[in-house]
Amino acid sequence: MSKTDGAAVIEKGTDKYLAINSGLKNKSFLGVNTSKLQALPGLIIDNEGIRNWKLEGITEIEGITYHYGPFLEGKTLPDLEITPQLLLELTNALLIIKDNKFPVRQFSINSVFRANDGKILFFPPLLMDYLNSHRSGKDSLNMIDPWNNPKLGGNEGRSFTIAALAFKSITGEQPFNGETEEEIQKFIALKSYKSPLLFEPGLKKEIVDLIDLSFSGEATLSQWKELLSTWIRKGSENSSMSVLEKENITLLEAQKEKKRIRNRNIADFFHNNKNKLIIGLASVVLLAAVLQAPISKYLAPPITLGMSQREVIDLYYDCFRTMDTEILEDCITSKAGKGDINEISTIYVTSKVRSSYEGSSGLISPDQWIQEGKNPVAPGVNIWGITDLKIKRLTDDSFEAVYTKWQPTPSDDPEDITPRMPEGIEIKDVLHVSRINDAWMIDQLNRLY
Both 291 and 316 in one domain: the answer is no
CATH number of the domain encompassing residue 307: 3.10.450
Both 416 and 311 in one domain: the answer is yes
| Count of domains observed in the chain | 2
- Per-residue pLDDT tens for 286-315? 344 444 434 444 455 788 888 899 999 999
- Per-residue pLDDT tens for 409-434? 876 665 667 888 999 999 999 999 99
- Per-residue pLDDT tens for 8-19? 898 888 889 899
Both 366 and 401 in one domain: the answer is yes
Residue at a domain's end among 299, 315, 333: 299
pTM of the model: 0.61
The average pLDDT across 39-62 equals 87
Q: Is residue 160 in a domain?
A: no
Both 357 and 319 in one domain: the answer is yes
Residue at a domain's end among 267, 299, 331: 299
Q: Give 232 or 132, the one with higher predicted confidence.
A: 232
Q: Is residue 106 in a domain?
A: no
Q: Is residue 67 in a domain?
A: no
Which domain, by its residues, includes 309?
301-448
- Per-residue pLDDT tens for 127-167? 888 888 776 666 778 888 889 988 888 889 999 999 999 99
- Per-residue pLDDT tens for 355-367? 765 667 788 999 9
Least confident stretch, 243-247, 261-265, 367-371 = 261-265
Both 391 and 271 in one domain: the answer is no
What are the φ and ψ backbone dihedral angles of 376, each rounded to 5 degrees?
Answer: -55, 145
Residue at a domain's end among 258, 274, 299: 299
Both 439 and 311 in one domain: the answer is yes
